[in-house]
Amino acid sequence: MRGYWPLMSDTGPILEFLTVFANCRNLDELIPAFEQLATSLLPCQDVRLLVGPDEPQTEYPLQIPLTSADGVTVGHIIASCEPVSDSGRAAEALASVAAMALRRAQLMRLAREREVLLGEVVLARQILMEMLPRGPLTAGSFAISGRLQAADRLGGDCFGYTRSSPGQVSLLLADAVGHGLGSTLLVSECRAIWRALSRGSGTLSERVGLLNRLLAENTGPERFVAACPAILDCQTGTLELISCGLAPHLMYRAHTDAVELLEEAEPPLGIFPDYSFQSQQCVLAPGDLFLAVSDGVLEWLGPDSELFGEERLVEVLHGAIRVGSDPLSSLFQALRDFGRESVQRDDACALLVRHAA
């Protein structure tokens, strides 16, 4: 401290100052309340309260650092009045109360910000869950279902399916980049646009191209969606899909009891607005199964940060088929068992299409 003024002998204004200042919990109220009351108490008209740990850029005759009880420098009291050396104890009391009130106001602001953030997380979770189908879909001899396992951090995964025309079902598995409310809103926008396009005309490549352009127009290149849009023809068993930046998908062939990996071939949605997407087709015979998964499935964390990986995914799928259990239930139970003690960084999402034997 570089010096202090003598405080007034009348303790009334001092008590008023301490009461008002100690009870202020909002920084916007705290600063003017301090400056007004301090000016009325002290023989100086330019008393100022600076918030933050940095020292003032200009040296003042009076300059008191404010340090809270937990050792955090929260601000400074400054003024241009010449100090008086015999008032140190009063000034120390003033600085102590100021530091306490300032630190409390900062902590309360952090608490409010965290509360707002928690509310956004709850809202995002609600948005994410409400956009998912209410249950499985049966279309002819096909059974379609999906599952989402939320991570410890809020992600942007979703799945969906809807009857788009007689004998056809429109499918989507999507994973927006990043975490938080922004990713949830981005993936919900993707799903809403896809639902609208799936009821229109045009080839799958044309529809996905339009979806890509619309997303690119509404977002920057750093915001994109990895996705697998597809159309299932329930009469022929033909599944036409475009894998846009997602992990490899699995195709189980009943006649060979083998699992094939369908590698990704196209970029994510929303990056290249004029990109021409190419689809691939496969036919699901009776007993066959198609499984699309988000990156979060393969990257689900286990002991020592080990990843779940493709090999375990294939083993779980094969095992579930051989014992006649539901592949999605088996997969997500395996994920829970594998990552029981680990904090998960990303959602795990899966979409299953099964042709009854």
- The token pair at 155 is 């992600």
Least confident range of 90-104, 143-157, 238-252, 340-354: 90-104
256-284 average pLDDT score: 92
Looking at domain 11-122, which of 3.30.450.40, 1.10.3470.10, 3.40.50.300, 3.40.190.10 is its CATH number?
Answer: 3.30.450.40
End-to-end CA distance of the chain: 85
In the three-class reduction of DSSP (H, G, I as helix; E, B as strand; rest coil), residue 10 is classed as coil
Q: What is the DSSP letter of 244?
A: B
On whether the CB atoms of residues 213 and 275 are closer than 8 A, the answer is no
On whether the CB atoms of residues 314 and 250 are closer than 8 A, the answer is yes
pLDDT at 5: 43
Rounded Cα distance, 313 and 309, in Å: 6
pLDDT at 9: 46
To the nearest whole number, what is the mean pLDDT of the chain? 83
Rounded Cα distance, 282 and 97, in Å: 73
CATH of domain 131-355: 3.60.40.10
215-233 average pLDDT score: 90
pLDDT digits (tens, 9 = 90+) for 7-49: 444 455 556 655 665 566 667 777 787 777 667 666 666 778 8
185-201 average pLDDT score: 88
Rounded Cα distance, 268 and 246, in Å: 8
Residue 203 β-bridge partners: none
Report the share of the chain in percent with pLDDT over 90: 45
SS (H, E, C) 191-207: HHHHHHHHCCCCCHHHH
Tell whether the model's pLDDT for residue 266 goes beyond 90.
Answer: yes
On whether the CB atoms of residues 239 and 284 are closer than 8 A, the answer is yes
Domain 131-355 in the same topology as domain 11-122: no
Q: Tell me the whole-structure pTM to 2 decimals.
A: 0.69
Rounded Cα distance, 218 and 82, in Å: 59
Tell whether the model's pLDDT for residue 225 goes beyond 90.
Answer: yes
Closest C-alpha among 309, 221, 310 to residue 267: 221
Query: Which whole-number Å values give the CA distances from 14 to 27, 34, 97, in the listed order?
Result: 20, 12, 11
Tell whether the model's pLDDT for residue 130 goes beyond 90.
Answer: no
Choose the most confident range, by mean pLDDT, from 46-55, 74-83, 241-250, 283-292.
283-292
341-352 average pLDDT score: 87
Half-sphere exposure of 203 (CA within 13 A, CB side): 12
- Spans of all domains in the chain: 11-122, 131-355
pLDDT at 249: 92
pLDDT digits (tens, 9 = 90+) for 273-323: 999 999 999 999 999 999 999 999 999 998 888 999 999 999 999 999 999
Q: How many CB atoms lie within 10 A of CB 217?
A: 9
Tell whether the model's pLDDT for residue 255 goes beyond 80.
Answer: yes
pLDDT at 140: 93
Rounded Cα distance, 145 and 353, in Å: 7
Tell whether the model's pLDDT for residue 259 goes beyond 50.
Answer: yes
pLDDT at 82: 64
Segments of the chain assigned E as strands: 48-51, 62-67, 73-79, 137-139, 142-149, 157-165, 168-176, 225-233, 238-241, 249-253, 258-262, 280-283, 289-293, 348-355
In the three-class reduction of DSSP (H, G, I as helix; E, B as strand; rest coil), residue 227 is classed as strand
Q: Which residue has the higher pLDDT, 166 or 30?
A: 166
- Listing DSSP states for 294-307 in one string gives -HHHHT-B-GGG-B
Least confident range of 112-126, 177-191, 224-238: 112-126
Tokens 């996705």 appear where? Answer: 227
Tokens 């199964």 appear where? Answer: 289
Least confident range of 61-75, 137-151, 253-267, 286-300: 61-75
Q: What is the DSSP letter of 83?
A: P
pLDDT at 139: 95
